[in-house]
Amino acid sequence: MIANVTVGADDIALARRFYTAFLPALGYGLTEGAEGLSFALPVAAGERAVLPDFYVKPTFDGGPATAGNGAMVAFEAGRQAQVRALHAAALGAGGADEGAPGFRARYGPRFYVGYLRDPQGNKIALFSSNPEEPGRED
């Protein structure tokens, strides 16, 4: 089980603007401290944490943060409309389009996804595969 995912950022304020444009809408709460940003899903008293957490932090070695080639973090939305809305919000918050929301031929008929790059260049996917919504017509 994955406990957390961490991406590096050279500009935490810019990263905060980008990630808070969509992660709170997916249920994530933000804790910010000297070590960067920590996003986690809420936990009821006496319950175990829902994993994974998502962290945005300065690099440990002090060097510039770089995006991993082939690395991507995907966040699940509840509906296709939410994917579109959150993709647009993230673009408005400093993200770059890496693929407009829609169906992709190489994935299942209900996999609806939009791709972004955060201000640091990390690749982010927002997707929905809700079986109650229309799927791709082949």
Enter the tokens of residue 67. 């995006």
**Cis status of the peptide bond prior to 52, with omega within 30 of 0:** yes
Give residue-wise pLDDT tens across range 21-76: 999 999 999 999 988 999 999 999 999 988 899 999 999 898 999 988 789 999 99
- Asked if the structure places residue 133 within a domain, the reply is no
pLDDT class for 138, splitting at 50, 70, 90? low
- Average pLDDT of span 3-26: 96
The range of the structural domain enclosing residue 18 comes to: 4-59+71-128
Instruction: Give CA–CA dist 42/99, Å, rounded.
Output: 30
- Asked if the structure places residue 94 within a domain, the reply is yes
pLDDT of residue 58: 93
pLDDT above 80 (res 1) = no
- Asked if the structure places residue 54 within a domain, the reply is yes
Q: Strand pairing partners for 51?
A: none
Q: Helix, strand, coil: what percent of the chain each, to 5?
A: 15, 35, 50
Q: What is the CATH number of the domain that holds 118?
A: 3.10.180.10
- Asked if the structure places residue 91 within a domain, the reply is yes
The secondary structure of residue 6, as a DSSP letter, is E
Whole-structure pTM value: 0.89
Tally of domains in the chain? 1
